[in-house]
Amino acid sequence: MQNKNPRQTQSLTTSSSAETMAHTLPLLPYGYDALEPYISQEIMVLHHTKHHQTYVNALNAAEASYAKSSTPKERIALQAALKFNGGGHINHSLFWKNLAPSAAVNKGTGGVLKDGPLKTAIVESFGSLENLQKEFNATTAAIQGSGWGWLGVNPSTKRLEITTTANQDPLLSHVPIIGVDIWEHAFYLQYKNVKADYLTAIWNVINFEEAELRYAEAVGTSKL
Ligand SMILES: [Fe+2]
């Protein structure tokens, strides 16, 4: 159920085509129960093995159809499926990595923002981490229907901003630093209709170390 290497993206599925590089479900960088008590094992198992896997399968199917299509009309007809399932795959792949077992229950480093460039930028844009969380939760709680909440870097100003996307639209206007799944499938089994409690809880398992790496890349200070 667990993989040892957080950066590993081995497949849980096998590609049936040697011609195309099929997308595969990335393994989680932690166990399914590792985010408890903030996100239950039941949610994680279903979210990863059912929901994310479905986006992967549907994306592969849409891409295979696209490859076989011979007319503009056929290709246009596939755009919605490519966007929805491609976005679902991209967003969930980011989401798993920006979560980590919580320091608050001595399981890991989740929820801890250390001193560094990201913290400095958060203070600069929001005044404090607490203010960021308050603003982020208010903005994402207001999403009507399904979508994603984002902390992203504005590529023009290089400043951190909070934004949202609808459905499975990936974040294109900003470089994503932290993304939170606001679909009911991400929280309903545990938090029922109380989205605010899910949003409060999730900050305990945010992987700020991953966010720090993404921030460094976004503002061009990455040593890679
Ligand atoms: Fe999801």
pLDDT at 15: 46
User: How much distance in Å is there from the Cα of 194 to the middle of ligand 1?
Assistant: 17
Q: What is the pLDDT of residues 122-177, one digit of tens each?
A: 999 999 999 999 999 999 999 999 999 999 999 999 999 999 999 999 999 999 99
- The rounded Å distance from CA 190 to ligand 1 centre is 14
Q: Which residues are bridge partners to 28 per DSSP?
A: none
| pLDDT on residue 21 | 72
pLDDT tens-digit readout, 51-109 = 999 999 999 999 999 999 999 999 999 999 999 999 999 999 999 999 999 999 999 99
- From ligand 1's centre to the CA of 213, what distance in Å? 23
Distance 223 CA to ligand 1 centre (A): 32
Residue numbers in the known binding site are 47, 92, 181, 185
Which of 5, 56, 53 lies closest to 29 in space, CA to CA? 5
The pLDDT of residue 9 is: 41
Name residue 15's amino acid: S
Residue 26 CA, ligand 1 centroid: distance in Å = 14
Q: How far apart are CA 51 and CA 192, in angstroms?
A: 18
Asked whether the beta carbons of 168 and 88 are under 8 A apart, the reply is yes
Which tens digit of pLDDT belongs to each residue from 178-221? 999 999 999 999 999 999 999 999 999 999 999 999 999 999 87
Judge if 41-99 and 105-218 fold alike in CATH terms. no
Q: Decide if pLDDT at 12 tops 50.
A: no
| CATH (residue range 105-218) | 3.55.40.20
Domain boundaries, the chain: 41-99, 105-218
Q: How many CB atoms lie within 10 A of CB 127?
A: 12
Expressed in angstroms and rounded, the spacing between residue 185 Cα and the centre of ligand 1 is 6
In the CATH scheme, what is the code of domain 41-99? 1.10.287.990
Of 175, 185, 205, nearest to 53 by C-alpha is: 185
Rg (CA), the chain: 18
Residues tagged in the binding site annotation for Mn(2+) = 47, 92, 181, 185
User: Separation of 16 CA from ligand 1 center, angstroms?
Assistant: 25
DSSP state of 105: G
- Residue 48 CA, ligand 1 centroid: distance in Å: 8
Ligand 1 center from residue 51 Cα (angstroms): 6
User: Ligand 1 centroid vs 204 CA: distance in angstroms?
Assistant: 18
Q: How far is the CA of 23 from the centre of ligand 1 (A)?
A: 17
Interatomic CA distance for residues 39 and 102, integer angstroms:
10
Phi, psi of 74 (to 5 degrees): -65, -40
Question: 3 pLDDT exceeds 50?
Answer: no
Report CA(20)–ligand 1 centroid distance (Å).
26
Mean pLDDT (the chain, rounded): 92
pTM reported for the whole predicted model: 0.89
Q: What is the spatial distance between Cα 167 and Cα 216, in angstroms, rounded to a whole number?
A: 28
